[in-house]
Amino acid sequence: MQNSGLDEQSTNVKNVKYKNRAMSAKFGKAVVHVILIVYCIMTLIPFYFLAIRSFVPTSESAKLHVWLPKTQEVSMNAVIGNLSTYYNLDMQKFKSEMEITGYLNPQYTLADISENYDVPTEKLQKYFESFYLFNGWKIILTGGKFLFATLRTIFIVVSSILLGALLGLSTGSVLARFKKRWHMYVYNTFMLQMIIPLTMIMLPLYLIVTKILGFDNSLVSIILLNVQGSALSTMIFTSYVATIPTEMRESLEIDGGNRLHYFFKIVLPLSKVAVATYAVIRIPAYWNDLLYGFLFLKNDSYPLIPMLSSLTGTYNTNFQAIFSGLVFSVAPLIVLYLLFQDLFVKSIMAGSIKG
């Protein structure tokens, strides 16, 4: 009887400990979930405010808006010349919509236009109604300038990633395992790029690309500068190729294969993670590049970010258009990372797991 009582007491103690552990585990999971939720919210807040700012007029850009501002009617005392500059109006389109022919004095107010050209006040206010919230998006999405700038940026990024990865893999397949003395010398030469500031070689680069190679105002100039041998691509691809078992190359050589067969049939098919690692680091840098675009291209050939920067004026800056353009420029990167998130996660984990 005494032993059965002790056994029952021991069982109760074990049950209590088990319940306490279960409660502690649930509490720990709850805390982790709360921390992750708070972290996600803190990460998304800047994107949220960026999206809100794209609908905030420049006149209210100094104010903090947590939601879309209320639409305000345009003042009939506003001068059409000022509105033309402020809203980047197409005056020919405006005159056509208002059925105005001939010269329109830019010093006229909307009230003057209504009186002199018999344009109803409601028609004028309705025309400018959407400009208060959507002026930035009207500038970005109309005219085709930003569409072509985006296409140019996509072309630069895709070409730079593909050519850079191909050249990096070619370099890595030669330098991997450092069997010869000159391999290390070449590798160290690539590493010098890490300690040489870009500003020190900007003038020689400009002269070589524009004067010697003749790629002035050409997208090719930026692609060439992006795919030039770099310390990053050399380290990534040399380290990756070194992990490929030598037995694979030896078996290919036994079957009569050569170095080209080894590169295209073994190295390239197995390099998805290495290319993704290279891409996940380089895509934001290429996409958001400002310096090369300003230096090597002219206004009509600007990629997306230099085109956005050109919206800043000497006397007037349309912040609404700039923030709309920033949202427009961030959206493709977000879509890209969502589509290829599995591959990007593998590329990030590749450095922590030995092959």
Q: What DSSP string runs through 122-172? A: HHHHHHHHTHHHHHHHHHHHSSSHHHHHHHHHHHHHHHHHHHHHHHHHHHH
pLDDT of residue 222: 92
335, with CB counted inside 10 A (0-12, 13-18, 19+), is: exposed
Question: For residue 99, what are the contacts with CB-CB under 8 A and spacing of at least 6?
Answer: 117, 119
The arithmetic mean of pLDDT across residues 167-187, rounded, is 80
Model confidence band, residue 303 (pLDDT cutoffs 50, 70, 90): very high
Domain limits, the chain: 2-53, 80-134, 145-352
The arithmetic mean of pLDDT across residues 219-237, rounded, is 86
Rounded CA Rg of the chain = 31
Q: At what angle do helices 181-191 and 145-175 cross, to 10 degrees?
A: 150
186, with CB counted inside 10 A (0-12, 13-18, 19+), is: middle
Contact 114, 76 (CB under 8 A): yes
Contact 264, 246 (CB under 8 A): no
232 DSSP β-pair partners? none
Q: pLDDT of 188-213, one tens digit each?
A: 788 877 788 877 888 888 888 888 88
Positive or negative torsion for Cα 338, 339, 340, 342: positive
User: Average model confidence (pLDDT) for the chain?
Assistant: 82
**CB neighbours of residue 351 within 10 Å:** 11
- Consecutive H or E run containing 314: none
Model confidence band, residue 353 (pLDDT cutoffs 50, 70, 90): very low
Q: Which ranges in 144-271 belong to alpha helices (H)?
A: 145-175, 181-191, 198-207, 219-227, 231-242, 246-254, 259-262
pLDDT of residue 354: 44
End-to-end, the C-alpha distance of the chain in Å comes to 61
Q: pLDDT of 132-147, one tens digit each?
A: 888 888 888 887 888 8
Task: Give the pTM.
Answer: 0.79
Model confidence band, residue 152 (pLDDT cutoffs 50, 70, 90): very high
Q: Which CATH number fits domain 145-352: 1.10.3720.10, 3.30.530.20, 1.10.274.10, 1.10.630.10?
A: 1.10.3720.10
Q: pLDDT of 32-61, one tens digit each?
A: 888 988 888 888 888 888 889 889 888 787
Tokens representing 291 are 């310096």
Residue count (the chain): 355
The arithmetic mean of pLDDT across residues 221-243, rounded, is 86
Tokens representing 201 are 């070689």
> Which range has the worst mean pLDDT, 5-9, 94-98, 99-103, 159-163?
5-9
Rounded Cα distance between 153 and 159, Å, is 10
